[in-house]
Structure 1
């Protein structure tokens, strides 16, 4: 574990490395506790002549066994070796030479799951961002690209499978029951993309013929006995490969493409060149063990990691400040893939819900940072929603501003100009400027400024002049490291909806309007439309064309009208969500005032009508009926938040909707019942989604357990079973039916780790302070492991991130439990500890007593001895 040194890395301090490593040859003699790594590094000076500088290589907890240059063992006085750095002072007076380094590492003892580690009998690597330096001394930075040849040796009976990046070269037997395999990757790559896997795994194989006619061998490796569950992942991989050819013209470039699924993995997956390593959560699925959300997640993550082959691997990032260049761009690409595979409107709504739930709070709290950060203490802590999700939104805005044709031309030029490069955001923006002739300097502020812009909009209609005037004003609040903000370029898609429910033809008397997009560039901007006889209703930020907070002068009647008629399905959903949010915030204030909330019957009818509207696909109706979450309501309230009152307001509205629409909901629930064999396709999943949302409403009244209990007992797939279990546990907590279902679920799936994660998560998110003790008991459950990231996230992480009333229990017990758990996790896995600790990010928005208790818990963590750089960075920024 790296103890925090307090060092801050700054973008302005970037300098190219004086040395390059054009070729890397590695030999691994794999052993659980004594793996030997021989690295033969071809070193070349950047200047092309001899260098007088020392060669300084990165390390992390390494043990050096030998060191040579050009085959000559170095004298101990000519270098300094520590576990974290190797400095070689006496270098040959040449522009190219070879350094031979032998290190010894202990994969089985590596509980941080970074670098090379051994878990469940298999050797696995995770080198992003700085894990390669835990394997051997190296220039471990993304702008040092090298061609790798890797030889793996291991016991043939214990480790029959030997994989690395690139293409297989040779394999064979050795003495004493050992065997070997050699892999070569012809494409230069940074060290963070290095990978190896050694173990004993099952496999499913297939092939893919590229658009140029090359045959690519495909393999997905999983635990023995789980091969059939990888079939959907293989199908998603082949669809991803074909889509990237058809939409971006990008072809796969190696002879093989392998995926390995492991159970102990800090991330979702890793895009190592030709050898993707996945958390098995995003590979394994069948109807008995996986939900529809799992299937959709597998499809998206398989696509994301495959798309990295070009946006991340063939073109990588110059330094870690450019992380969004590969991650934000690739998220955009996987979002587009999923939209094409499923429903574009449904996918867009789901993306925006996730952005608001995760990234907006990040932007508005102590952990706020630009999409491209300018400084960091620990790079692992910048794998954030801002870099990924907001980074994707910035790419989407480029497409909105330029249009589809120029966006594609820009992407083509990016691949042509920068293939094989370690690129920057400036490189990326330049290609779009070059193909379109546009100046994107103001737009580039989306990469450079933290925070979520707010836009106020007001519409005025002058019937006499037949004119509509829009008044727009933008603002961007200060964030922790930026008090002064510059004006943004905000593209706002819009429509003027006439009384007949159809979009009006628009005639803008302003060059800031291009087609259906208003380009807001000034602090205050007025846009006029002529020849508008009747007053329209404004629909703006359609498709969530910009990631902003929108404040609009609009009546409830106008919002109701849009919720029923807007041709843009995202905007239609947004109007309905805004109405629900306003009702919930008013109910919150009513409860805080000691009264019982009453809801507008028009809103209750709107929900019922939307549920019944057969012109809308079931998946869309399911999202429309899903009320804003407790975190969404908290953000709307702003300060002095009482989580118990928020839950009370939400439960009151759910009950009111259920009571007003009970008969209608019951009929639709039955209509959505599946017939025939299970299918994970989007249409079938949409029906299950709507049915399960309705089940939640129908199970809200006290004692209404029969329908959920029946669905649990009769379920033939995990989607319906887990949904019924969650409804019983959350809506009818403590009832005999809920207790029996939880026990039955545990009994059925106690040998299925991924399914047991759901069992832990459902219980961790039961509302109410009593869940604090329940989580404490579950941490002692025989199925809980503090060493497994999935299990930690499903119990401890879900408790803090998704259970507002328990985590924020008024007596502070939730904070105490969580702080103790974070410290316990940190002893083993600092990355996971730091990521779950971000649950404290909004503590200052709570009411004063909870604020004080949360602060005490944060201080207690900060005072713990020998905190890792990962966790200390998060805690100190959260407290600042």
Structure 2
């Protein structure tokens, strides 16, 4: 399941879980033992520790649940038959359950686990604050609490009461084995239905109940959308709002479902599984019957009924089973033509999972349904996934490129849950990261494979680049002239040519190829002076780039005539766009946002008021576990296994996990055991503590060089407590003076599995790989080693011989662990600058650029803070002083040089081999919310002024390169428009696609979270073995591409262009503003239009485009949401009144999550207005929460969290934010449960005065 932004959510329906659920709770061992012998005796048997349980039948929603207190369910439900009768707002459900006593329940009470629970003092009673809080309670106190819960003591040799979860239900009829059940035989509460003496054999229980139909948009259970579609949301504990059931993930059942409704109101009737019958009934009604042959937990149940339209349908034939599954996508009327993209994404997901992990889909039908409002962004119900409309539909005029890619990955995420979450699911909600973190990581692998395949397909058929003139030609020539007059046009080339002089000689073939390509470009561009100017700029940039970045790399099978021939006649710019996509260049789009999100969210969780754990010891509601930690950090924990095992070892272990535990409910420990068993040569034990590790390990890295022996020693010290410190896989690389990776080999260690990554134990020595030295190894497996850091201090040695002293040490490559790094080997200014320009590893280079920018922002901020002013003179003086700073070991020294930052960004702009979306991320200067928390106290308004000043300065310094980037993207896109791209990968190119293991990517929720990194397995044998079947499988299905308007090559070019235009927008250049306005009106897609629209904010053209945007998209809510967000997030002073007006706008609909969140969360993104000194921004957001809560509690609760970051702010902001939270808390009785819970959580710790 995906939540909006994967942030913490809560719901009024979500009460408790497992033994501590709303309907039953077991206090084994200690609780039973403290009851007197007389009271605890039943049937003449004296009950002792480990032989009885205390079962509650009326617990409250405040019950805290403990992971250590897990007890199996008292009963099992192997078969479930449901009949839904829908009549407008009146919905009745008849449920027939086949129920067995669970023998594991009795066995557990006599097991060591029960004794361990006794030692912990496990209690199911309300008010427990910790796992040991009730251990010292007297037996009389426990008996009183038990009486309040309606608890009964049951001996282990007796059948316990059957207590089913049920909330908001009106029980109409109850029968046992077909006979009416006397009222004295059962009890009904607001949260349960209990049979006090159920049969000691298999029996059937039939109930008929009327459920509470929910219109509130934040609720779970059965809700009805505005368009009239009935739809369920059962994760985590919503099934109990449909019927009485053991609503916990370790109870699986085979479901047969009959749905009946009015045919005109609900022409489409859907549920999980295979369609087994359908027909018409008297009175204009009809029905459908579905049978799911795969037993599933109740949280995966799904039903949809309403006026849906079949927008796309297709099929998928399994290469493993030979069976063909029908695929269908449903959407509300008016959106059916926008879901073909989703169908293609689904087909790719199915093909990839079969080829990569051998996972096949076993049902006859897989359907996807989109509604206008759905609480999470997506839900993986078995065979029937649900989505919020904006997250399934995709069209060029309603979705941006990043949204379309996020939707593609969301579809993949929900389908990949079929195995990692559905077939193999959770024992309990404490291990939520097992299904969400694992699926998130599998989604990242999928994204990389699809991206690779799409780029290879485009390269095989790309058209030549046009050299048509552009209005930008004149602007570019003038910008170059201005730069030359200022003496800075060739600054980077001049300063870099000497330091990279050895580059051409070390890779002469690459250099020659580049020269030839640029000569071809010269001929093509000779018709205009601007073309020659652009050529001069690009040629200078090419000469200062390291060989690994400059090489126009063909696909790995470049010797194959079938794949290389079509590309031979291509113009250089298309070659650079398509062929530059290689293991030595970032693989997937927007790489850095994933790393940025993990690091930033992790800091907030561990230092602010929004703390949470990956696998907590206790919780009050499982809905509180759905945070970015579970998804993002959970995926990074899985990635560490992948890093240590390599692609083949990981794939082998994951296949074993799925096969061994198919149709079981397990914990993360079973995943760990399967991965470890599949690669017995690698010790993975040190990774398990990551599940309980709430703070990121801090590694301090230092290095020393012995010139005489040619030995580099790297010492890693860690600050975490050793007794609970997890193993940290620290991937490192060494760069020579030319910016190339130094190839390495590791000998005296046996830790690595066969053909696995280069792992380095303490005491081992890595040596120069002399056979590869001098060749282009950047990005290859031999360019990095993984240091296994497990002790307080460890030293690793590198014997480099002929390579000499490395120019830089590249640390934490591929974000190999969610850890923080410091020390002189990491913080050195000269090293950081070098890495920012030359590192072949995507994460390490991005991280270096971020450190340069962050450090400079902090120095400028400190200067402004001391001076009490952020005026131009103060900041210019501070920037000049920073440029003269000498190298030091301080944490900010690595970034204090503004010229170094400009040079790094210039190298990025000039490197045409970089993936366009990765280039766009490299150009993103850290936001105020990312940098401001590093100041003490925070002053976000001052930081905003500092950042705007820096952006203007960079835009001015880099204007020629920025214009060149825009112009180049224009020409690349023109060439792509002239290309008729196939929807699938040509068979001839299939074998040459880079392996999925070579490059990884990442998407999360609404925000694009894509992560790229290079191969972790040495050589090409293993990678090729995995790449070929994956590429071939993807080649057989039609994936999203040109037909949908979102072909990856075009998306990448548009991303680079958007980043350049965004930076240029900081300039006060009237002619450029007119040019951007023309781009706005001429845009052929929403991405380009929105880029221009945002760049025009604060200019005379803004109001014109504002009116045009509204009129153009007034009937398209998904596009109109961008119109709301741009205005709401504006940093124009005194914009709060504008946002108040937006909430009164005729098209503002609070029930539309996209529009509601665009206004409320968009406003919170405005540093100037949300953090206004007088507190008006906080007051407005609290007003907005109160206004929208009735219509959209999900949106309201999400907005409350923006006030929850008060602990990271300085006074008076802290006091003002807490004041608004107190105001909301005073209205808690009138708020929805979702919002009230969010207020309580956000206000926790607020000062009382």
Q: TM-score per shorter chain, which class?
A: over 0.9
1:788-799 matches, within 5 Å, as: 788-799=1152-1163
Q: CA deviation at 1:139?
A: 0.9
Higher relative contact order (CA 8 A, sep 6+): 2
Residue of structure 2 aligned with 1:41, choices 94, 97, 100: 97
Residue 829 of structure 2 corresponds to residue 723 of structure 1: no
Give the match for residue 1224 of structure 2.
861
Residue of structure 1 aligned with 2:340, choices 215, 231, 252: 231
Write out per-residue CA displacement over residues 331-351 of structure 1, whole angstroms, 9 at most, x where no aligned residue: 001111112222635454232
Residue of structure 2 aligned with 1:209, choices 309, 317, 322: 317
For 1:432, what is the secondary structure of its paired residue?
helix
Residue 602 of structure 2 corresponds to residue 352 of structure 1: no
Name whichever of 601-610 and 826-835 sits farther off. Answer: 826-835
Name whichever of 95-104 and 367-376 sits farther off. Answer: 367-376
Q: How far apart, CA to CA, are the structure 2 residues paired with 1:842 and 1:469?
A: 42
For 1:26, what is the secondary structure of its paired residue?
strand
Name whichever of 429-438 and 215-224 sits farther off. Answer: 429-438
Residue 809 of structure 2 corresponds to residue 538 of structure 1: yes
Q: How far apart, CA to CA, are the structure 2 residues paired with 1:503 and 1:752?
A: 50
Write out per-residue CA displacement over residues 462-483 of structure 1, whole angstroms, 9 at most, x where no aligned residue: 2133221212222359xxxxxx
Give the match for residue 769 of structure 2.
none
Residue of structure 2 aligned with 1:433, choices 668, 676, 684: 676
Give the match for residue 397 of structure 2.
288
Q: How far apart, CA to CA, are the structure 1 residues paired with 2:930 and 2:1162?
A: 16
Q: How far apart, CA to CA, are the structure 2 residues paired with 1:13 and 1:260?
A: 38
Q: How far apart, CA to CA, are the structure 2 residues paired with 1:320 and 1:833?
A: 25
Asked whether the 8 Å contact 1:559–1:579 carries over to 2, the reply is yes
Q: How far apart, CA to CA, are the structure 2 residues paired with 1:543 and 1:105?
A: 50
Give the match for residue 585 of structure 1.
858
Name whichever of 653-662 and 450-459 sits farther off. Answer: 450-459
Asked whether the 8 Å contact 2:613–2:692 carries over to 1, the reply is yes
Q: How far apart, CA to CA, are the structure 1 residues paired with 2:83 and 2:283?
A: 18
Asked whether the 8 Å contact 1:390–1:547 carries over to 2, the reply is yes
Q: How far apart, CA to CA, are the structure 1 residues paired with 2:657 and 2:848?
A: 38
Asked whether the 8 Å contact 2:712–2:805 carries over to 1, the reply is no
For 1:696, what is the secondary structure of its paired residue?
helix
* Long gaps (5+) in structure 1: 478-483
Give the match for residue 813 of structure 1.
1176
1:134-145 matches, within 5 Å, as: 134-145=241-252
Residue 1212 of structure 2 corresponds to residue 849 of structure 1: yes
Give the match for residue 601 of structure 1.
899
Write out per-residue CA displacement over residues 641-673 of structure 1, whole angstroms, 9 at most, x where no aligned residue: 111111112111110111112233223212212
Asked whether the 8 Å contact 1:161–1:200 carries over to 2, the reply is yes
For 1:702, what is the secondary structure of its paired residue?
coil
Asked whether the 8 Å contact 2:1150–2:1192 carries over to 1, the reply is no
Asked whether the 8 Å contact 2:250–2:426 carries over to 1, the reply is yes
Asked whether the 8 Å contact 1:258–1:276 carries over to 2, the reply is yes
1:394-433 matches, within 5 Å, as: 394-433=637-676
Q: CA deviation at 1:433?
A: 2.0
Q: How far apart, CA to CA, are the structure 1 residues paired with 2:789 and 2:372?
A: 47
1:235-254 matches, within 5 Å, as: 235-254=344-363
Q: How far apart, CA to CA, are the structure 2 residues paired with 1:314 and 1:630?
A: 43
Residue of structure 2 aligned with 1:709, choices 1077, 1080, 1103: 1077
Q: How far apart, CA to CA, are the structure 2 residues paired with 1:818 and 1:668?
A: 39
Residue 730 of structure 2 corresponds to residue 492 of structure 1: yes
Give the match for residue 791 of structure 2.
522
Q: How far apart, CA to CA, are the structure 1 residues paired with 2:277 and 2:675?
A: 44
Give the match for residue 1061 of structure 2.
695
Write out per-residue CA displacement over residues 384-407 of structure 1, whole angstroms, 9 at most, x where no aligned residue: 100011100100001112222221
Asked whether the 8 Å contact 1:369–1:451 carries over to 2, the reply is no
For 1:785, what is the secondary structure of its paired residue?
coil
Q: How far apart, CA to CA, are the structure 2 residues paired with 1:365 and 1:109?
A: 35
Q: How many residues align?
A: 867
1:160-559 matches, within 5 Å, as: 160-203=267-310, 204-211=312-319, 212-342=321-451, 344=587, 346=589, 348-437=591-680, 438-476=682-720, 486-506=724-744, 511-512=761-762, 516-532=785-801, 533-553=804-824, 554-559=827-832
Q: How far apart, CA to CA, are the structure 1 residues paired with 2:820 and 2:166?
A: 44
Q: How far apart, CA to CA, are the structure 2 residues paired with 1:358 and 1:55?
A: 42
TM value normalised by structure 2: 0.67
Structure 1 residues 831 and 441 mapped into 2: Cα distance closer, same or farther (>3 Å)?
farther
Asked whether the 8 Å contact 1:345–1:570 carries over to 2, the reply is no
Residue 573 of structure 2 corresponds to residue 573 of structure 1: no
Give the match for residue 205 of structure 2.
99
Q: CA deviation at 1:788?
A: 3.0
Residue of structure 2 aligned with 1:115, choices 200, 216, 221: 221
Q: Higher strand fraction: Structure 1 or Structure 2?
A: 1
Asked whether the 8 Å contact 2:447–2:588 carries over to 1, the reply is no
Give the RMSD, CA atoms, in angstroms.
2.2
Asked whether the 8 Å contact 2:101–2:159 carries over to 1, the reply is no
Q: How far apart, CA to CA, are the structure 1 residues paired with 2:1089 and 2:605?
A: 33
Q: How far apart, CA to CA, are the structure 2 residues paired with 1:821 and 1:314?
A: 42
Asked whether the 8 Å contact 1:461–1:535 carries over to 2, the reply is no
Write out per-residue CA displacement over residues 363-413 of structure 1, whole angstroms, 9 at most, x where no aligned residue: 332222221122112221211100011100100001112222221121011
Give the match for residue 67 of structure 1.
174
Structure 1 residues 507 and 344 mapped into 2: Cα distance closer, same or farther (>3 Å)?
closer
Q: How far apart, CA to CA, are the structure 2 residues paired with 1:22 and 1:500?
A: 66
Q: How far apart, CA to CA, are the structure 2 residues paired with 1:521 and 1:871?
A: 43
Name whichever of 106-115 and 625-634 sits farther off. Answer: 106-115
Residue 996 of structure 2 corresponds to residue 630 of structure 1: no
Name whichever of 813-822 and 93-102 sits farther off. Answer: 813-822
Asked whether the 8 Å contact 1:241–1:252 carries over to 2, the reply is yes
For 2:1174, what is the secondary structure of its paired residue?
coil
Structure 1 residues 113 and 871 mapped into 2: Cα distance closer, same or farther (>3 Å)?
closer
Structure 1 residues 12 and 108 mapped into 2: Cα distance closer, same or farther (>3 Å)?
closer
Residue of structure 2 aligned with 1:564, choices 837, 841, 852: 837
Write out per-residue CA displacement over residues 281-317 of structure 1, whole angstroms, 9 at most, x where no aligned residue: 1221121221101210111001001100000110011
For 1:22, what is the secondary structure of its paired residue?
strand
Structure 1 residues 355 and 64 mapped into 2: Cα distance closer, same or farther (>3 Å)?
same
Give the match for residue 481 of structure 1.
none
Structure 1 residues 701 and 224 mapped into 2: Cα distance closer, same or farther (>3 Å)?
same
Q: CA deviation at 1:829?
A: 5.0
Q: How far apart, CA to CA, are the structure 2 residues paired with 1:495 and 1:775?
A: 49
Q: How far apart, CA to CA, are the structure 2 residues paired with 1:172 and 1:16?
A: 41
Asked whether the 8 Å contact 1:506–1:530 carries over to 2, the reply is no
Write out per-residue CA displacement over residues 79-124 of structure 1, whole angstroms, 9 at most, x where no aligned residue: 2223322222242x33211111111124354443411111111111
Residue of structure 2 aligned with 1:786, choices 1150, 1154, 1166: 1150
TM value normalised by structure 1: 0.95
Name whichever of 690-699 and 341-350 sits farther off. Answer: 341-350
Residue of structure 2 aligned with 1:749, choices 1106, 1113, 1116: 1113
Which has more radius of gyration?
2
